[in-house]
Amino acid sequence: MWLASKIANKQGESLPVLKGSVKSATSAAVEVDASRPMRNLPMAVPFGIVYVPPVGAEAVVAALPSGEVCLGVIGENTSSLKAGEIKIYSSGDSSVTLTVDGKVLIEGDVYINGKEVSL
């Protein structure tokens, strides 16, 4: 919602923001079912990050003058994280957590340049 507010303030208008369920997604576009079905929505993500949200995730969609865009999905419970920590995770059992005490926690099988690394 913060991102939509910032975009709206720059354009001097308010933006409709909707929440809905991801019905399908590819690396190119996402389909969200909110008050109405929305298809072929681009994903707005930080530079260098690409992801495909899982079906069923709660998506946030903003209606821009140029068309609708999916701002992202509502994150999972992060109660295990401390303030200032970051966790990247997949729908599987893999994750990378950067902790406030300087540790990098890796869960799952680790591959470097296609070769499995035994730790």
- pLDDT, one tens digit per residue, over 12-62 is 667 789 999 999 999 889 999 988 899 999 999 889 988 899 999 999 999
Q: Considering the chain, what percentage of its residues have pLDDT values greater than 90?
A: 61
Q: Looking at this protein, which amino acid is placed at residue 20?
A: G
Give the CB-side neighbour count of residue 83, counting CA atoms within 13 A.
0
Domain assignments of the chain as residue spans, ordered by start = 2-73, 86-117
- Supply 44's token pair: 């707005």
Please list the helix, strand and coil fractions of the chain in percent, rounded to the nearest 5, in that order: 10, 45, 50
Residue 106 pLDDT more than 80? Answer: yes
Is the pLDDT confidence value at 9 over 60? no
Q: How far apart, in whole angstroms, are the C-alpha atoms of residue 46 and residue 116?
A: 29
**In whole angstroms, how large is the CA radius of gyration of the chain?**
17
User: Regarding beta strands 30-33 and 17-25, do their DSSP bridges make them parallel or antiparallel, or are they unpaired?
Assistant: antiparallel
Task: Give the containing element (helix H, strand E) for 69.
Answer: strand 67-73
Of residues 10 and 91, more confidence is placed in 91
Which pLDDT value is given to residue 91?
Answer: 85
Mean pLDDT of the chain: 87
Indicate left, alpha or beta for 100 from its phi (over 0: left) and psi (-120 to 50: alpha): alpha
pTM of the predicted structure, to 2 decimals: 0.72
